[in-house]
Amino acid sequence: MNDEYTPRIVGFLCNWCSYTGADLAGVSRLKVPPSLRIIRVMCSGRIDPLFVLKAFLKGIDGVMMMGCHPGECHYQKGNYNARRRFILLQKILEAFDLEPERLGIWWVSASEATKYAKVTTEFAKEIEKIGPSPVANEIFL
Amino acid sequence: MRGSVLPIENNLEETILNFIKEAFDKKCIEAVILPKRIPSGDSFAYLLIKDKSILEGASPFPPVIPVQGAKAISSLTRQGSVKKKILAIMHPCEIRATIELFKLKQTTLNNLIFMSYDCPGVLPLSDYLENPDENDQTFLAAQQKWDSKDMRPVCKICTEFSAPASDLHIGQLGTDEGKIFLIPNSSVGKEFLNAFGLNSDVPLDEWEAEVEKLKKERENNKKDAQEKLKTKVEGPENLLETLSSCITCHNCMRVCPVCYCRQCYFDSDAFKFPPDNFISKSEKKGSIRLPSDTLIFHLGRMSHMIHSCVSCGTCEDACPMDIPIAQIFNLVADKTQQVLDYKPGRNIEEPLPTVTYQEEELQEFEKPYSETYIKVEETNV
Amino acid sequence: MSKLLKINKGVDEGTKALLEYLLEKDKVEGVITLKTINANQGICYSLITKPEELKDAVPLIPYMPNNEGKLLSRLTLREPLADPIAVVARPCELRAFIELVKRNQGSLKNYLFISHTCPGVYPLETNVNGSLEKKISQYWNKTKNTELIQDTRPACKSCIHFIPDNADIIVSLIGEADLDNNCNIFLSTNKGEEFAAGIEGEIGEKELESKEINLMQNKREEERKKLFEETNIETKGIEGLIEYFGKCIGCHGCSNVCPICYCNLCFFDSQPNETQPSWSESDLDRKGALRLPSGTIFYHLGRLAHISISCIGCGMCTDVCPVNIPISTIFSKVGESVQKAFDYSPGMDVEEPVPFGIYKEEEFTEIGEQ
């Protein structure tokens, strides 16, 4: 079973910085992990904690939240809100031993294609090391 | 009525599970909905199962109804039809509620096949949870003897315990030891039995007689129980007293299969008033209880759904204050449905009584001006 | 030091005398307190406007049919009170109301808060099976002796916020050896002093914090630790979640009675939370089976995401659960760690904003930079 395991990772990317950064990484032909599925949101502040919880309960192996660097948010403060929500999510995941290390947040600006390629590759490797999510095959959810 | 005979191997549950497995093999169905014990072992949950290995250990005849099956079905098909052919095994009351939900356009039934059985009743949920292991045994014994002593109060007086408008019905009454009847109620059910190569033309007189007998018995129980309940709830004082411990948690509404509104009217903005409203009411009487909408909630909910109430008893199971709410609703539902000549879940073609009418009906409830007021005037003269 | 009013009556009678005084002298328009409504042991909150109706009032009965914070919000959701109303509420109910006011679900204006050092309440089921009445004498005995009352609700036994910080008037109960004959009432705000001015009784000065209160604080903290350790959720992962919440029948009673859950339509009851059959079928293909209705764990985790920051641990959710899930303990435990992360104490100060939707630029700066 483990031989054929390729992790499934969901990335919530803000439109103005991280998504553009991902775009630039593509244009620059940088290598990014194929296991990452990107969902574009207008701002990291749009990432409802329920999106993340739902992803985990659907059996997703890792979730990446990405937004503009603090102080650079297109909407002034969306990423500050996202940062607090990330803490909230981490506390809830910790409380139930739901492997909080499967969730991460990164600030990636539109020009940081190399950073984007680096963090996604590293995170994908990390998730591969942790192994498949135990939630994936749970039927009594 | 005619149907086929199926021999029981070991026990009933295993027989039915084997029957389902065979149905999988024969490609009659692609998935099945039935209850299975949850991992902690003390309750049950409906599962939609495709994998035969998960079917192992499922409980088609659970001792409790934690979630009304109609709710399970509508959670799956409220937004559209399923593509897979799915068999659902449920209590008759759950199937009746599903049919009501279909009429209320809250579920679609394409590709769903329903299987029901002669229902001995189920145990009250809170009683069961106190000691699941012991109660499993109690239920097993009661199930075999058709003894409703420990069952829920509404199960004791349920007369619709057999053959609802399902596709296939499992008849356990009036059979010889080691046999059950499989009774097709629709063309789908017939096809099903044909696929199994079962002769569906065995006469079922014994079953019918036995069902009639139990129905009569339950009918009598119902009369007694309802008479007794009436003394407790008739008149505003009695009703208020019975509902006095209600904490307005609305659990009864939330678990009711027929209460399908996403937002109940009684939870909505229409029921949020300015402070004056409370204070002036209180000044009239000296004091008012808070929340002040206990009675209007129960009576209002009744007016919304009583014609479709299948008396499944889920509301009573969910009540943290042990109010006999299902029995009260059963009492009113019985009367209302009699007047409207409507039985919820009896027939999927039958329209809801609130969306249909005949011009020449229910005239005995009218008081035409000409008959009442003119007469009064005459006598006054 | 705060003003102490001594009334030469038992605590129950003393509290009632205070309410009667407020109503009779027209200092308040009404009183909200617990009241028995008939022979059938119905106990519910009531808005009382005529003093004679106070005869059935049971302001200190150890029973909580609703979280009163929710009721206070219902009363002032549309507009604030025009005239004062006195409210007898437990500390957790006051905290709940403060949280609701922060969320624009009510107004503090013209409420006079009367509270007490809270020994806890018995579960709802004690009033169903009739054991509440029998328990009351031991309740007061143990309160006099500053003992933990073992058969009160787990949320109460482990409550460490039993001193009402926001009350104008505080009836002292815990550790009051002579509470059968003496009612000690602290007038902790100017508002409280003004309202109580003129009532028959001795006026003195005393510190609310006492040896007994500290003793109780320690006992409760110990109990809390024990309870949190017993509820071992942090080592079992998803299996532990299913073990605890698997029984859930989806009645959403916990959110309906939760004072913090104020939404008219809960997200988890709303259409966006419903699934297309094709999604369920693809889940089915992947896993081989699927719970119906699914989303049990999602509901509880989601509710934690929504309200754990403000969970005041009143215990109503556990009380109302028809399948006895220890929801309140789990929510308190998670709530405590979330609240600690944001250095937030729910229901303490109405000026302290809820930590979501606000931010500081210079916080958690290590996050996102790795």
**List of chains touching C (3+ CB pairs within 8 A):** A, B
CA distance B222 to B159: 8
DSSP classification of residue C40: T
**A131 in contact with chain C, both atoms CB, cutoff 8 A:** no
Kindly report the nearest CA distance between residue C334 and chain A, in angstroms. Answer: 6
Contact yes or no for C238 and A134 at CB 8 A:
yes
Buried b (16+ CB within 10 A) or exposed e, C90-110: bbbbbbbbbbbbbeebbbeee
Q: Mind listing the pLDDT tens digit of every residue in chain C (370 residues)?
A: 789 999 999 999 999 999 999 999 999 999 999 999 876 678 999 999 999 999 999 999 999 999 999 999 999 999 999 999 999 999 999 999 999 999 999 999 999 999 999 999 999 999 888 889 899 999 999 999 999 999 999 999 999 999 998 999 999 999 999 999 999 999 999 999 999 999 988 899 988 888 999 999 999 999 999 999 999 888 889 999 999 999 999 999 999 999 999 999 999 999 999 999 999 999 999 999 999 999 999 999 999 999 999 999 999 999 999 999 999 999 999 999 999 999 999 999 999 999 998 899 889 988 887 6
Contact yes or no for C364 and A84 at CB 8 A:
yes
Which residues 112-141 of chain A have a CB within 8 Å of chain B?
139-140
Domains of chain A, residue spans: 30-130
Contact yes or no for A139 and B54 at CB 8 A:
yes
For A137, the closest chain B residue by CA position comes to B54
User: Would you state the pLDDT for residue A6?
Assistant: 86
Contact C45, C214 (CB under 8 A): no
* pLDDT at position A1 over 60: no
Which residues 1-40 of chain A have a CB within 8 Å of chain C?
none
**A83 in contact with chain C, both atoms CB, cutoff 8 A:** yes
Q: Which residues of B touch A140 (CB under 8 A)?
A: 38-39, 45
Q: Which residues of C touch B318 (CB under 8 A)?
A: 249, 251, 253, 322
Kindly report the nearest CA distance between residue B23 and chain C, in angstroms. Answer: 17
Buried b (16+ CB within 10 A) or exposed e, B105-131: ebbbbebbbbbbbbbbbbbbbbbbbee
Q: Which residues of A touch C307 (CB under 8 A)?
A: none
Give CA angle at C192 (C186, C193), nearest 5°: 80
CA distance C314 to C335: 12
Q: Which residues of C touch A80 (CB under 8 A)?
A: 359-361
Q: Which residues of C touch A49 (CB under 8 A)?
A: 302, 305
Kindly report the nearest CA distance between residue C167 and chain B, in angstroms. Answer: 21
**C234 in contact with chain A, both atoms CB, cutoff 8 A:** yes
Token code pair at residue C99: 């949280």
List the single residue in A86, A95, A135 with the smallest CB-CB distance to C238: A135
Domains of chain B, residue spans: 2-224, 231-339
Amino acid, res. B57:
G
Kindly report the nearest CA distance between residue C305 and chain A, in angstroms. Answer: 7
User: Would you state the pLDDT for residue B144?
Assistant: 85
Task: Give the per-residue SS3 of B229-287.
Answer: HHHHHCCHHHHHHHCCCCCCCCHHHHHCCCCCCCCCHHHCHHHCCCHHHHHHHHHHHCE
Render pLDDT for B80-101 as a digit per residue (tens, 0 to 9). Answer: 999 999 999 999 999 999 999 9
Q: Which residues of A touch B45 (CB under 8 A)?
A: 140
3-state secondary structure of A114: helix
Contact yes or no for C66 and B242 at CB 8 A:
no
Which residues 68-87 of chain B have a CB within 8 Å of chain C?
71-73, 75-84
Q: Which residues of C touch A57 (CB under 8 A)?
A: 297-298, 301
Contact yes or no for A70 and C368 at CB 8 A:
yes
Render pLDDT for A99-125 as a digit per residue (tens, 0 to 9). Answer: 999 999 999 999 999 999 999 999 999
| Distance between start and end Cα atoms, chain C | 51
| Closest to B35 measured CA to CA, from C249, C218, C261, C225 | C249
CB pairs under 8 A between B and C: 225
Contact yes or no for A140 and B45 at CB 8 A:
yes
Render pLDDT for C166-217 as a digit per residue (tens, 0 to 9). Answer: 999 999 999 999 999 999 999 999 999 999 999 988 899 988 888 999 999 9
For B35, the closest chain A residue by CA position comes to A140
Contact yes or no for C240 and A97 at CB 8 A:
yes
Kindly report the nearest CA distance between residue B278 and chain A, in angstroms. Answer: 37
CB pairs under 8 A between A and C: 123
3-state secondary structure of B179: strand
User: Would you state the pLDDT for residue C38?
Assistant: 73
Amino acid, res. B117:
Y
Look at strands B168-171 and C30-36 and give their pairing. Answer: unpaired
CB pairs under 8 A between A and B: 5
Buried b (16+ CB within 10 A) or exposed e, A19-37: bbbbebbeeeebebbebbe
Amino acid, res. C235:
T
CA distance C238 to C300: 13
CA distance A9 to B377: 83
Contact A89, A52 (CB under 8 A): yes
Mutate to test the interface with A, among C303, C359, C362 (most CBs of A within 10 A): C359
User: Would you state the pLDDT for residue A105?
Assistant: 96
Contact yes or no for C267 and A85 at CB 8 A:
no
Contact yes or no for C247 and B273 at CB 8 A:
no
3-state secondary structure of C358: coil
For C53, the closest chain B residue by CA position comes to B286
Bridge partner list, B112: B86
**B67 in contact with chain C, both atoms CB, cutoff 8 A:** yes
Place of tokens 């990317």: A13
Give CA angle at A20 (A16, A25), nearest 5°: 160
For A96, the closest chain C residue by CA position comes to C234
Kindly report the nearest CA distance between residue B367 and chain A, in angstroms. Answer: 56
Amino acid, res. A114:
T
Kindly report the nearest CA distance between residue A28 and chain C, in angstroms. Answer: 23
**B245 in contact with chain C, both atoms CB, cutoff 8 A:** yes
CA distance C235 to C201: 56
Residues in chain C: 370
CA distance B330 to B312: 9
The residues, ordered by sequence, that sit 6+ positions from C292 with a Cβ below 8 Å of its Cβ are: B33, B45, B46, B47, B48, B72, B73, B75, B76
**List of chains touching A (3+ CB pairs within 8 A):** B, C
**A86 in contact with chain C, both atoms CB, cutoff 8 A:** yes
Amino acid, res. C93:
E
**A96 in contact with chain B, both atoms CB, cutoff 8 A:** no
3-state secondary structure of C120: coil
CA distance C294 to C305: 19
Q: Mind listing the pLDDT tens digit of every residue in chain B (381 residues)?
A: 788 888 888 888 999 999 999 999 999 999 999 999 999 999 999 999 999 999 998 999 999 999 999 999 999 999 999 999 999 999 999 999 999 999 999 999 999 999 999 999 999 999 999 999 999 999 999 888 888 889 999 999 999 998 778 899 999 888 877 889 999 989 999 988 888 888 888 888 888 999 999 999 999 999 999 999 999 898 888 888 888 889 999 999 999 999 999 999 999 998 899 999 999 999 999 999 988 889 999 999 999 999 999 999 999 999 999 999 999 999 999 999 999 999 999 889 999 998 888 888 888 888 766 666 666 666 665
CA distance B92 to C87: 49
